[in-house]
Amino acid sequence: MAYIVKYIGNCARNNIDIRPLYEKDISYGNRVVLVCEKATADRYITEDVKLIDSPLDATQTDAPLMLICTDANAKLQAVETAFRLYAQECQIYIRYDGIYTVNPEEHPYAHHLDRIDYDEVTELHTSGYNGVDLDVVEAAKKYGVIIHMLSYIEPQRQGTIIKEVMAFGSATVKGIIKEPDICIVSLREIPDKPGISYFIFDAVSRSGVNVDMISLPASDYGKQDISFTIHKEDKNTVEKLLQEKQAQLGYSYFTIKDNVAKISVVGGGVKTSKGVAASVFRVLYENDISLRLISTSEIKISVFVDKKVSDLAVQKLHEYFIK
């Protein structure tokens, strides 16, 4: 007899009947532990449900269906419960039947992913549509807990498994992310002296603005340029700050290019397959899409393009990398 842990908080918020989510599991002889926020617990307290306070309580009762209610992060509680009970998996119910290569609401060619690695989904979480919480994925990776993303609308569908899979081979690219409304801020002819980068980004940080990517080209003529990216909603804050700090920081002038989008190609195979970056650049070149900035990490290549061509960039990269 195995335990299956299910986070069901999303079901209460969307007025979903949870019985179809667990009836089959119980009929197969599994023991089911439901986890939700205390604010929604009243919906699920019935004669069939055994209220428990901790994973330890689950081992001390024969009830096939149990419920843990928490004031803390219920998704994290579900992951920890799955770890404590050596559960087969931790199921998290969201709107979609798992994770897709791109946002299925925006792109009809989106492909469903049967499985994905912890690190890959960590990069994809910024796309927003997929219902994945970064801290939940990090906890699952730490504990070695398998997460199964399922749809509360169509629970019979396959969903997406999140676990350590890159070690066993992985498709080169698992998804394409579009982050719209980005600004590229460029400071020109900055004095090339120790500490200047610190003073610039300390000032930006103190203004409450988060910086995503930073580009600092090599320089050997006593001056240097720095570019970095911010969200468009912070444009006015940064513009005002740089106007006030120009004399102190010593740059000649600055520019802010708005209406830029960040397109990221994500996959465990990015670090093991040759020529991925070159292929990204070739696809964009063949579709007459200019690059504004480039950023890379171990499993992600990001390019910044004009927002007006961002959907075309996503489509063409998806066509090339995801068959």
Interval 157-165 mean pLDDT: 87
pTM recorded for the entire structure: 0.76
Interval 243-256 mean pLDDT: 93
Share of the chain above pLDDT 70, in %: 95
Residue with tokens 């890379």, as numbered in its chain: 296
C-alpha separations of 112 from 94, 115, 149, 255, 323 in Å: 14, 9, 12, 40, 12
Interval 124-137 mean pLDDT: 72
- pLDDT of 79 higher than 60: yes
Using the Cα atoms of residue 41, residue 45, residue 51 and residue 55 in order, give the sign of their dihedral.
Answer: negative
Mean pLDDT for the chain overall: 88
- pLDDT of 169 higher than 50: no
The reported pLDDT for the residue numbered 227 is 94
Q: What are the structural domains of the chain?
A: 3-167 (3.40.1160.10), 170-323 (3.30.2130.10)
Report the chain's C-alpha Rg in angstroms. 24
Long-range own/partner contacts, residues 164-169 (CB < 8 A, 24 or more apart): 164/117, 164/118, 165/115, 165/116, 165/117, 165/268, 166/117, 166/119, 166/120, 166/268
Interval 222-233 mean pLDDT: 91
Residue 283: pLDDT band with limits 50, 70, 90: very high
pLDDT by residue (tens digit) across 28-66? 999 999 999 998 888 888 888 899 999 999 999 989 999
Q: Which two tokens stand for residue 260?
A: 């830029």
Interval 131-139 mean pLDDT: 84
Residue 258: pLDDT band with limits 50, 70, 90: very high
| The most confident of 128-137, 157-166, 179-188, by mean pLDDT | 179-188
- pLDDT of 196 higher than 80: yes
- pLDDT of 168 higher than 90: no
The reported pLDDT for the residue numbered 129 is 59
Q: What are phi and psi of 24, to 5 degrees?
A: -65, -40
pLDDT, greater one: 122 or 318: 318
- pLDDT of 126 higher than 80: no
pLDDT, greater one: 323 or 74: 74
Element (H, E) at 249: helix 235-249
- pLDDT of 222 higher than 80: no
pLDDT, greater one: 15 or 195: 195
The reported pLDDT for the residue numbered 172 is 76
